[in-house]
Amino acid sequence: MIVAISDVHIGAPNSNRGAFVAFLNDVLMRRDDDNITDLVLCGDILDFWRCDVMDMILESEHIINRLIYLADLGIDIHYIAGNHDYIMRKAESKHKHIRFSTDLELTNDGRTWVFLHGWEFDASMNPAYFDAFCYANTTHGDYVRKTFKTYLRFLPPVKAGRAWISGKRIQSYMRDMFSFSDKPGLENSSPTGNNLIDTAEFPDGGTVFGHTHLPQLNAKDELADCGSWHRGYPTHNTYTEIDDGAVCLKQFG
């Protein structure tokens, strides 16, 4: 079984970090009974855009320890970088069961599953600026101006000069990016209540992602949105389980 989760946003004010820790403990307890082979973190697990980096590191200690423990037990941990933690694509681990990337392809029972964060579907997102947001520490002050200055420092002199001339346009892009934008075509059906939200058959596999914070299965288009652990949304603490062509969308707790 593959378990996929997205958008925990550790460090951000509305992140349900405690519930995520409990979820990892639950994965640990049932890993053998459910034959969990892979845990896919579909990005924005850490929120470098909206929090102080040191605070985020301190809040992440228990989570990192549990992920390493799961890897020690043989579960493959795949960390896909999202727009809010894009710098994690550069991370490296010597642990044979921990990998970092920007996308992933896994096979389960002969079916191919592609895992992304989901910013790739969002027209308002531009990866050229993701690193600048991650490094700017925009918790205080004019976040767009701070991010723009950080972006300029990443560029060679000639490109930085050109970017400075286009500064108003670039800062406008950055302002749009910082404002949340949902993936077009998927509407939040606001499922509520119990553990199992929805289940669907995906005979040929499909694409699993997050980013929108809107948990939903779309078997016709072979799309599964993991949702988020952001308490600002009506349905949160959601994840997907993938096994034998079936995708279950669940809500923890």
Q: Which residues pair with 209 in a beta bridge?
A: 225
Would you say 218 and 235 are in contact if contact means Cβ atoms under 8 Å apart? no
Domains annotated for the chain, with CATH where assigned, are 2-121+185-251 (3.60.21.10), 127-178 (no CATH)
* Of the candidates 73, 78, 82, 70, the residue with the CA atom closest to the CA atom of residue 24: 70
Count CA atoms within 13 Å of residue 241 on its CB side: 18
Long-range CB pairs of 130-133, under 8 A, 24+ apart, other chains included = 130/83, 130/86, 130/87, 131/86, 131/87, 132/174, 133/48, 133/49, 133/83, 133/84, 133/86, 133/174, 133/177, 133/178
Q: Write down the residue that tokens 């060679």 correspond to.
A: 156
Beta bridge partner(s), residue 111: 108
Alpha-carbon distance of 88 to 101, in angstroms, equals 8
Phi-psi region of 226 (alpha: psi -120 to 50; beta: other; left: phi over 0): alpha
Which 8-state DSSP code applies to residue 182? Answer: P
pLDDT of residue 54: 80
Grouping H, G, I as helix, E, B as strand and the rest as coil, residue 1 is coil
pLDDT at 250 (0 to 100): 94
Kindly report, residue by residue over 35-84, the tens digit of the pLDDT: 999 999 999 999 999 887 788 888 888 899 999 999 999 999 999 999 99
Residue 21 burial (C-beta neighbours within 10 Å; 0-12, 13-18, 19+): middle
CA distance 247 to 108: 11
Q: What is the DSSP string of 42-82?
A: -S-SB-SSSS-HHHHHHHHHHHHHHHHHHHHTTPEEEEE--
Which pTM does this prediction carry? 0.89
Which residue has 């924005």 as its token pair? 44
Output the pLDDT for position 210.
96
Q: What is the pLDDT of residue 180?
A: 55
* Residue 42 in tokens: 């579909």
pLDDT at 184: 39
Tokens of 173: 């892009």
Task: Supply 145's token pair.
Answer: 């101006």
SS3 label, residue 14: coil
Q: Which residues of the chain have pLDDT under 50?
A: 181-194
